[in-house]
């Protein structure tokens, strides 16, 4: 490899890390660029052209590999070498002996590229579906024109349409913007030349609804079975709903009375307390789950989704007890990405519905959701005089300002001033 190449690969690594690519994505990108350079007899990419890139891509027979290599090489040319590279849209491999197929739909190909880019960066499946939905709505709004023929002005027009005609919330508008920014920056490799901040909606800062300790007990008492157990964890440990549903058996430490919450909203792990009152019912629940898992294994099933590349590294881990979900679904389902038949975790909609019904049953006039238990957890800790930094760490907030909102709920901020009328 020429002397300049190691330096070039170091530049690629630095650029990927600056954009916070996962380590495995960094290695994959560098590996594809290395293969590309070796394919062309170690010539520097600066002296190669788009036709040389296509020659390399055409040598790859696997569709997924071709797409990954294409994204890596485009990153090299556009982000490192600052050279626009005009490549034709990625298309499926055509087998010579097969009947001639009609040309691939450019938009369908684009959606496949978006999916691949999202999965390379390990976005959640729900985020993948949401982003694809916003991109499709953007394209429909502009009469099915391809996004590469559109720009910042069209993005701004779409966001304005959402706010004015659709009257969507600020968070919804910003979610649509995030999807479009991902499309242009990570898939099309185009920068939107437009003052984006001018169309970014400013989210309102609303005080969260919080239950009193008595109201919390009454709502939880109205629930039953598995729903009551999860609600106790939400309130007793301050978990988010999906954090609770995604718990694995290995994440529960009964000896230390601890719960390890992995892959949180901030993509970091944190340790939460396991309430003593939950230990016995949780152990009984896990015994039932283990029997269910053993029944699945007897049928030749029993595998569970594993994050990142763990399934390739440890082929048998997906069937091991310690990797199973603490709150598995009653039904087996097909993994939307791999197609494997698995037992996923419980769907969040069931508990959400049960909590709403419980709040109505006890006569509460507040809007109560599963997240209300987390708000109540933080507020009640502050009421009990726990330090705000401790509460911040338990909640996993990056900034103490986020945690400070609960002091306003407690009326320890500006509202602590006594009215002159009183």
Of 419 and 212, the one with more pLDDT: 212
Catalytic position from the list 343, 374, 375, 380: 374
Active site residue 240: yes
The CA-to-CA distance between both ends of the chain, in Å, stands at: 81
Active site residue 401: no
Cα gap 402→207, rounded to integer Å: 11
Is it the case that residue 105 has pLDDT exceeding 70?
no
User: 66: pLDDT confidence band, cut at 50, 70 and 90?
Assistant: confident
What pLDDT shows up at residue 102?
Answer: 47
Query: Which class does domain 107-198 fall in?
Result: mainly alpha
176-198 pLDDT tens trace: 999 999 999 889 888 776 665 55
Q: What is the mean pLDDT of residues 368-393?
A: 85
Q: Which two tokens stand for residue 203?
A: 């989210």
Catalytic position from the list 121, 218, 257, 397: 397
Q: Which two tokens stand for residue 124?
A: 């959640």
Catalytic position from the list 24, 83, 265, 353: 265
Express as a percent the part of the chain with pLDDT over 90: 29
Catalytic position from the list 66, 70, 227, 240: 240
User: 94: pLDDT confidence band, cut at 50, 70 and 90?
Assistant: very low
Catalytic position from the list 77, 131, 235, 406: 406
DSSP assignment letter at 345: B
**Residue extent(s) of CATH 1.10.150.130 domains in the chain:** 4-88, 107-198
Architecture, CATH, for domain 213-407: Orthogonal Bundle (1.10)
Active site residue 206: no
| CA atoms lying within 13 Å on the CB side of residue 325 | 23
> Mean pLDDT over all residues of the chain?
82
What pLDDT shows up at residue 204?
Answer: 57
Is it the case that residue 131 has pLDDT exceeding 80?
yes
259-274 pLDDT tens trace: 998 876 656 778 888 9
Of the listed ranges 224-228, 280-284, 414-418, the one predicted with least confidence: 414-418
Catalytic position from the list 35, 371, 408, 412: 371
Q: What is the mean pLDDT of residues 309-314?
A: 71
Of the listed ranges 2-11, 136-145, 379-388, 412-421, the one predicted with least confidence: 412-421
Q: Which two tokens stand for residue 345?
A: 């975790």
Q: What is the mean pLDDT of residues 395-405?
A: 71
For strand 333-334 and strand 270-273, is the pairing parallel, antiparallel, or unpaired? unpaired
One CATH from 1.10.10.10, 3.20.20.60, 3.40.50.300, 1.10.150.130 for 4-88 = 1.10.150.130
Torsion of CA 283, 284, 289, 292, to 10 degrees: 140
**Residue extent(s) of CATH 1.10.443.10 domains in the chain:** 213-407
């Amino acid at each position: 490899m020429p002397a300049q190449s190691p330096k070039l690969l170091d530049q690629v690594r630095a650029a990927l890390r600056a954009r916070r690519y996962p380590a495995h994505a960094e290695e994959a990108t560098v590996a594809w660029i290395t293969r590309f350079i070796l394919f062309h007899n170690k010539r520097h990419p600066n002296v190669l052209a788009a036709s040389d890139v296509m020659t390399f891509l055409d040598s790859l027979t696997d569709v997924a590999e071709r797409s990954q290599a294409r994204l890596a090489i485009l990153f090299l040319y556009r982000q490192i070498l600052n050279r626009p590279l005009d490549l034709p849209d990625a298309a499926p491999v055509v087998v010579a002996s097969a009947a001639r197929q009609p040309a691939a739909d450019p938009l369908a190909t684009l959606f496949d590229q978006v999916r691949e880019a999202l999965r390379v960066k390990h976005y959640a499946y729900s985020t993948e579906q949401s982003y694809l939905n916003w991109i499709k709505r953007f394209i429909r709004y502009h009469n099915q024109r391809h996004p590469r023929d559109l720009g910042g002005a069209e993005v701004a027009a779409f966001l304005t349409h959402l706010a004015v005609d659709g009257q969507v919330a600020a968070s919804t508008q910003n979610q649509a913007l995030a999807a479009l920014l991902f499309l242009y920056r990570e898939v099309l490799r185009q920068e939107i030349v437009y003052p984006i901040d001018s169309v970014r909606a400013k989210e309102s800062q609303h005080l969260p609804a919080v239950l009193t300790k008595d109201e919390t007990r009454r709502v939880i008492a109205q629930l039953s079975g598995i729903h009551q157990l999860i609600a106790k964890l939400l309130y007793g440990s301050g978990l988010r709903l999906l954090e609770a549903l995604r718990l694995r058996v290995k994440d529960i430490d009964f000896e230390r009375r601890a719960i390890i919450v992995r892959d949180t909203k901030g993509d970091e792990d944190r340790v939460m307390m396991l309430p003593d009152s939950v230990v016995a019912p949780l152990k009984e629940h896990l015994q039932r789950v283990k029997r269910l898992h053993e029944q699945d294994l007897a049928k030749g099933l029993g595998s569970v989704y594993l994050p990142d590349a763990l399934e390739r590294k440890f082929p048998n881990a997906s069937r091991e007890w310690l990797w199973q979900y603490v709150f598995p679904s009653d039904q087996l389902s097909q993994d939307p990405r791999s197609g494997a038949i698995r037992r996923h975790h419980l769907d969040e909609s069931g508990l959400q519905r049960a909590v709403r019904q419980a709040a109505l049953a006890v006569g509460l006039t507040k809007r109560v959701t599963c997240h209300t238990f987390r708000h109540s957890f933080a507020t009640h800790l502050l009421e009990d005089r726990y330090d705000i930094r401790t509460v911040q760490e338990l909640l996993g907030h990056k900034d103490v300002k986020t945690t400070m909102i609960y002091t306003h709920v407690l009326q320890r901020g500006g509202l602590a001033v006594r009215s002159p009328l009183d």
